[in-house]
Structure 1
Amino acid sequence: MRRYGPAALLLLTGGAVLRITLFGELYLRYVQAGLRPYLIVSGAALVLLGLVTVVVSGGGGGGGDGPEEEGNGSGHGHGPRVAWLLALPALALLLFPPPALGAYSADREAAQRAAQGVGTFPALPAGDPVELTVGEFSSRAIFDSGRSLTGRTVRLTGFVTHGDDGTWYVTRLAVACCAADATTGKVEVRGADALPADTWVTVTGTWRPEGALGSDAAWPPVVDAGTLTRVKQPADPYEKA
């Protein structure tokens, strides 16, 4: 078994990577869509390397029953057993892929805003409601000197997080590369009852200005809800940072 251990680890890891990239969109829980080709190449390379290792290990038999091997087995027996722990993350990814980051991850992070300063934003598309990401809405609400959100009906989609005193937010995590660098954007929702944390919703409503542009009082921005709809988690749960 020790002979084929490295090959098994390579095959498990490569198979797990290929499973989440070739046979669905699970990889979007962890990385940006643009990284898919690199994951496929990496997974295929690991599987190929594992198969080569099997062939090489299988062809290197004979002469393994002497005293030297026996001594190695008793003297270093813990090494291979501990090394098999490396298979656990690959098995977990293969059999039980973790969910996308949610309310817990969002609540752990303090409010972080882009250092873009107050300025004029491009005009919004014609027609209401206008579909915006949580990040786009937040940026315009906090920094847009042209007040482009005034009088417009917007539609935001995200998951529910809870604050103090009964406040709740439609929240989205933004990633630049992968889930490890995720940052939080959220919009306080007023005029609608909160749903349980991590419930995905679409909120249609209007912006309620709070505080001076660019100030702490303007964060988080507020939307007065007209309608609130429970929706399924999208295939790609993250916004692009």
Structure 2
Amino acid sequence: MNRIAQGIVLVLLGAAALSCTVVSDLYLNYVQSAFRPFLAAAGVVLLVLGVVAIAVDLRSARTPDPAAEPGHDHAGHAAAGHDGHGHGAPRVAWLLLLPVIAVFVVSPPALGAYTASGAASGPPRESAASLDDLDEEEWGDPSRPREMELQEFVMRAWTDQERTMAGRTVRLTGFVVPNPEGEGWYLARLQMACCAADAIVNRVLITDEPEPPKDSWWRVDGTWVEPEGDIQAIRDHRFSVSEMVEVENPPDPYE
């Protein structure tokens, strides 16, 4: 692979990074929104380096070849090329272009039901101390559902020993995950601290509604099924549905 080819790879990598961050929100499938300026800056750097590499090689190609000058040692030049010093990387290096092209042709989707079904649910990452009290003023109109992120709902269900969420109507949005154990299905959302590689699942178990298609997104109104005994000993908290509406996939699928 000569310098022009290397420059093309850098240009394509830079263009891929810019297309995922500036042109679209595709980067949200892999990292948090805070990383957008860093990814865009990296794309610009790769693009500039690639253009510079191509320009330098093209300029070198226009300069006279020393081998054509009188008195040049053609045998030594040929020997240098023959022993490998005059050659670039092997042709297999062109395979480096495949993942770059794949970004443009096949955009990897965000993590979904496959990841969530294999992940074990557990206590949330954040501290319960960061949550507001669910008094009447904070809750708002009791006749209208309060919209919560799934991570907030799960955190309250696991940590609120006063059970102040009991009997209150909540609105959750997430995607459908089949229950491998066969009882009901999960409404889930993935939460990441940095990137998709460290994502954990927040989910609630729904048993009073038929299971929708896997990975479809739904807005669900209902109430927490208050468990008996220690709330922190519950593996998956249940949610009783009063109304559910299918919605479009959100631009940012993570919480």
Hey, what does 2:59 align to over in structure 1?
A: 59
Q: Could you say what secondary structure the match of 2:8 adopts?
A: helix
* Cα distance, 1:19 vs structure 2: 0.5
CA positional deviation for 1:117: 8.0
Cα distance change, pair 72–149 in 1 and its aligned pair in 2 (3 A): farther
3-state SS, counterpart of residue 248 of structure 2 = coil
Residue 168 of structure 1 is matched in structure 2 by 185
User: Do the aligned partners of 1:119 and 1:144 also contact (CA within 8 Å) in 2?
Assistant: no
SS in structure 1 at match of 2:3: coil
Q: State which drifts further: 110-119 or 120-129.
A: 110-119
Q: Give the aligned partner of residue 112 of structure 2.
A: 102
> For residues 7 and 80 of structure 1, do their structure 2 counterparts lie closer, same or farther at Cα, with a shift above 3 Å needed?
farther
The 3 A distance-change label for structure 1 pair 75 and 107 is farther
Aligned residues: 237
Residue 70 of structure 1, CA deviation: 4.3
Contact 2:3 2:53 in 1 (8 A): no
Query: What is residue 140 of structure 1 aligned with on the other side?
Result: 156
Preserved contact between residue 142 and residue 219 of structure 1 (Cα < 8 Å): no
Unaligned runs of 5+ in 1: none
Q: CA RMSD in A?
A: 2.4
Unpaired runs of 5+ residues, structure 2, are 68-76
2:109 is the counterpart of 1:92: no
Deviation at 1:31, TM superposition (A): 0.8
Cross-structure match for 1:123: 133
User: What is the aligned counterpart of 1:185 among 176, 197, 202?
Assistant: 202
Q: CA deviation at 1:8?
A: 0.9
2:169 corresponds to: 153
1:71 aligned partner: 82
Superposed CA deviations along residues 82-107 of structure 1, whole A, max 9, x for unmatched, are 22222222111122211110011112
Residue in 2 aligned with 1:220? 236
CA distance in 2, matches of 1:116, 1:21: 28
Pairing 1:1-12 to 2, within 5 Å after superposition: 2-12=2-12
Q: What's the counterpart of residue 15 of structure 1?
A: 15
Cα offset for 1:236?
A: 0.3
Q: Which residue of 1 aligns with 2:50?
A: 50
Q: What CA distance in whole angstroms lies between the structure 2 residues aligned with 1:155 and 1:67? A: 75
Q: TM-score, normalised by structure 2?
A: 0.84
Report the secondary structure of 2:243's partner residue. strand
| Letter of the structure 2 residue corresponding to residue 226 of structure 1 | S
Cα separation, partners in 2 of 1:133 and 1:116, compared to 1, 3 Å: closer
Contact 1:204 1:225 in 2 (8 A): yes
Identity across the alignment (%): 38
Separation of aligned partners in 1, 2:230 and 2:209: 25
SS at match of 2:90: helix
Deviation, 1:146, is 2.3
Match of 2:92 among 82, 100, 106: 82
Q: TM-score, normalised by structure 1?
A: 0.89
Secondary structure at the counterpart of residue 202 of structure 1? strand
Task: Tell me the residue number matched to 1:202.
Answer: 219
Residue type of the alignment partner of 1:84? W
